[in-house]
Amino acid sequence: MDMRTLLIANKEAVRAKTRNLFPKIPADRMAWAPDPRALTLGQLIRHLRLAEAGLLDVVRKGSWWYLEERIGPPLTSYVGPATDKDAEIKQFEDAHAATIAFVREAPEEVLEREHRNERLNRVMKGWALILGLAEHEAHHRGQMATYLRLLGEPQPSPYGHY
Protein backbone atom coordinates (compact mmCIF):
# COMPACT_ATOMS: atom_id res chain seq x y z
CA MET A 1 0.00 0.00 0.00
CA ASP A 2 1.42 3.42 -0.91
CA MET A 3 1.57 6.46 1.38
CA ARG A 4 -1.44 8.21 -0.22
CA THR A 5 -3.62 5.15 0.29
CA LEU A 6 -2.55 4.86 3.93
CA LEU A 7 -3.14 8.54 4.66
CA ILE A 8 -6.60 8.43 3.06
CA ALA A 9 -7.57 5.22 4.87
CA ASN A 10 -6.47 6.67 8.20
CA LYS A 11 -8.26 9.96 7.63
CA GLU A 12 -11.47 8.23 6.53
CA ALA A 13 -11.42 5.87 9.54
CA VAL A 14 -11.01 8.76 11.97
CA ARG A 15 -13.78 10.76 10.28
CA ALA A 16 -16.18 7.81 10.37
CA LYS A 17 -15.85 7.71 14.17
CA THR A 18 -16.38 11.47 14.42
CA ARG A 19 -19.50 11.23 12.24
CA ASN A 20 -20.99 8.80 14.75
CA LEU A 21 -21.18 11.63 17.28
CA PHE A 22 -23.00 14.12 15.05
CA PRO A 23 -26.52 12.68 15.48
CA LYS A 24 -26.01 12.81 19.26
CA ILE A 25 -25.28 16.55 19.31
CA PRO A 26 -28.50 18.42 20.11
CA ALA A 27 -28.88 21.24 17.58
CA ASP A 28 -29.92 23.58 20.38
CA ARG A 29 -26.71 22.84 22.35
CA MET A 30 -24.15 23.89 19.73
CA ALA A 31 -23.32 26.95 21.85
CA TRP A 32 -22.83 24.87 25.03
CA ALA A 33 -19.50 24.35 26.75
CA PRO A 34 -18.79 23.02 30.25
CA ASP A 35 -16.82 26.18 31.09
CA PRO A 36 -16.92 29.73 29.69
CA ARG A 37 -13.25 29.42 28.65
CA ALA A 38 -13.81 26.17 26.73
CA LEU A 39 -14.79 25.79 23.10
CA THR A 40 -18.48 25.07 22.59
CA LEU A 41 -19.66 21.97 20.73
CA GLY A 42 -20.09 24.08 17.60
CA GLN A 43 -16.72 25.74 18.03
CA LEU A 44 -15.03 22.35 18.32
CA ILE A 45 -16.40 21.41 14.90
CA ARG A 46 -15.43 24.80 13.43
CA HIS A 47 -11.94 24.65 14.94
CA LEU A 48 -11.39 21.21 13.41
CA ARG A 49 -12.51 22.53 10.03
CA LEU A 50 -10.31 25.62 10.19
CA ALA A 51 -7.32 23.59 11.37
CA GLU A 52 -7.82 21.10 8.55
CA ALA A 53 -8.01 23.83 5.92
CA GLY A 54 -5.02 25.59 7.46
CA LEU A 55 -2.78 22.55 7.70
CA LEU A 56 -3.73 21.44 4.21
CA ASP A 57 -2.58 24.88 3.02
CA VAL A 58 0.81 24.22 4.61
CA VAL A 59 1.14 21.06 2.51
CA ARG A 60 -0.36 22.58 -0.66
CA LYS A 61 1.10 26.09 -0.59
CA GLY A 62 3.58 26.31 2.27
CA SER A 63 1.20 28.78 3.99
CA TRP A 64 1.01 28.54 7.80
CA TRP A 65 -1.81 31.12 8.07
CA TYR A 66 -3.99 29.19 10.51
CA LEU A 67 -1.34 28.46 13.11
CA GLU A 68 0.14 31.96 12.79
CA GLU A 69 -3.25 33.71 13.12
CA ARG A 70 -4.06 31.69 16.22
CA ILE A 71 -1.09 33.07 18.13
CA GLY A 72 -2.42 35.50 20.69
CA PRO A 73 -6.20 35.49 20.79
CA PRO A 74 -8.02 32.84 22.80
CA LEU A 75 -9.18 30.07 20.49
CA THR A 76 -12.80 30.69 21.54
CA SER A 77 -12.71 34.24 20.17
CA TYR A 78 -10.64 33.30 17.11
CA VAL A 79 -13.13 30.70 15.83
CA GLY A 80 -16.17 32.83 16.71
CA PRO A 81 -19.68 31.61 17.51
CA ALA A 82 -20.85 28.44 15.78
CA THR A 83 -24.51 27.61 16.35
CA ASP A 84 -25.85 26.19 13.06
CA LYS A 85 -25.20 22.45 13.39
CA ASP A 86 -25.97 21.53 9.79
CA ALA A 87 -23.87 24.36 8.34
CA GLU A 88 -20.87 23.62 10.58
CA ILE A 89 -20.97 19.90 9.79
CA LYS A 90 -21.29 20.58 6.04
CA GLN A 91 -18.27 22.90 6.05
CA PHE A 92 -16.36 20.38 8.16
CA GLU A 93 -17.14 17.63 5.64
CA ASP A 94 -16.20 19.92 2.74
CA ALA A 95 -12.76 20.50 4.31
CA HIS A 96 -12.35 16.74 4.74
CA ALA A 97 -13.31 16.13 1.10
CA ALA A 98 -10.74 18.73 -0.02
CA THR A 99 -8.03 16.97 1.99
CA ILE A 100 -8.92 13.56 0.57
CA ALA A 101 -9.00 14.92 -2.99
CA PHE A 102 -5.63 16.61 -2.53
CA VAL A 103 -3.95 13.56 -1.01
CA ARG A 104 -5.40 11.30 -3.71
CA GLU A 105 -3.74 13.41 -6.44
CA ALA A 106 -0.58 14.59 -4.66
CA PRO A 107 2.70 13.25 -5.96
CA GLU A 108 4.69 11.45 -3.30
CA GLU A 109 7.38 14.14 -3.36
CA VAL A 110 4.77 16.70 -2.26
CA LEU A 111 3.90 14.54 0.74
CA GLU A 112 7.60 14.06 1.50
CA ARG A 113 8.39 17.79 1.27
CA GLU A 114 9.59 19.37 4.52
CA HIS A 115 7.76 22.51 5.67
CA ARG A 116 9.48 24.95 8.01
CA ASN A 117 8.13 27.80 10.06
CA GLU A 118 10.79 29.58 12.10
CA ARG A 119 8.26 31.74 13.98
CA LEU A 120 6.42 28.65 15.22
CA ASN A 121 9.62 26.59 15.53
CA ARG A 122 8.07 23.84 13.44
CA VAL A 123 9.51 21.53 10.82
CA MET A 124 7.15 18.88 9.45
CA LYS A 125 6.79 16.79 6.33
CA GLY A 126 3.56 16.94 4.38
CA TRP A 127 2.53 13.40 5.29
CA ALA A 128 3.10 14.16 8.99
CA LEU A 129 0.81 17.18 8.78
CA ILE A 130 -1.92 15.04 7.18
CA LEU A 131 -1.48 12.37 9.87
CA GLY A 132 -1.59 15.10 12.48
CA LEU A 133 -5.04 16.12 11.27
CA ALA A 134 -6.34 12.69 12.25
CA GLU A 135 -4.74 12.85 15.70
CA HIS A 136 -6.11 16.36 16.22
CA GLU A 137 -9.60 15.24 15.21
CA ALA A 138 -9.46 12.22 17.53
CA HIS A 139 -8.46 14.50 20.43
CA HIS A 140 -11.38 16.87 19.88
CA ARG A 141 -13.76 13.97 19.21
CA GLY A 142 -12.94 12.82 22.75
CA GLN A 143 -13.82 16.30 23.99
CA MET A 144 -17.13 16.20 22.14
CA ALA A 145 -17.92 12.79 23.63
CA THR A 146 -17.17 14.12 27.12
CA TYR A 147 -19.40 17.14 26.54
CA LEU A 148 -22.20 14.87 25.35
CA ARG A 149 -21.82 12.69 28.44
CA LEU A 150 -22.14 15.82 30.61
CA LEU A 151 -25.30 16.69 28.68
CA GLY A 152 -26.78 13.27 29.52
CA GLU A 153 -26.05 11.29 26.34
CA PRO A 154 -25.71 7.69 27.56
CA GLN A 155 -23.51 6.36 24.70
CA PRO A 156 -21.25 9.13 23.36
CA SER A 157 -18.32 6.82 22.58
CA PRO A 158 -15.49 8.55 20.69
CA TYR A 159 -14.61 5.15 19.19
CA GLY A 160 -17.79 4.52 17.25
CA HIS A 161 -20.75 2.29 18.04
CA TYR A 162 -20.40 0.07 21.11
With respect to residue 156, please indicate whether it lies within any of the assigned structural domains.
no
Instruction: Write down the pLDDT at residue 155.
Output: 83
Res 161: pLDDT: 64
Residue 158: predicted pLDDT: 80
Low-confidence ranges of the chain (pLDDT < 70): 160-162
The boundaries of the domain holding residue 38 are 3-150
Alpha-carbon span 7 to 52, nearest angstrom: 14
Looking at residue 159, what is its pLDDT?
Answer: 81
Is the residue at 162 inside a domain?
no
What's the confidence (pLDDT) of residue 100?
Answer: 98
In a domain, 129, yes or no: yes
For 115-131, the pLDDT digits (tens) are 999 999 999 999 999 99
Overall domain count for the chain = 1
**Residue 158 maps to a domain:** no
Q: Distance (Å, rounded) from C-alpha 92 to C-alpha 109?
A: 27
Global pTM reads 0.94
Residue 160 placed within a domain = no
pLDDT recorded at residue 58: 97
Tens of pLDDT, residue by residue over 19-47, are 999 999 999 999 999 999 999 999 999 99
Whether residue 119 lies inside any domain: the answer is yes
Spell out the alpha helix ranges (H) of 20-84. Answer: 41-61, 65-69, 75-79
Q: What whole-number distance in Å separates Cα of residue 21 and Cα of residue 8?
A: 21
CATH of the domain at 43: 1.20.120.450
**Residue 161 covered by a domain:** no
3-state helix, strand, coil in the chain (%, to 5): 65, 5, 30
- Is residue 155 a part of any domain in this protein? no
CA-CA distance, 140 to 130, in Å (whole number)? 16
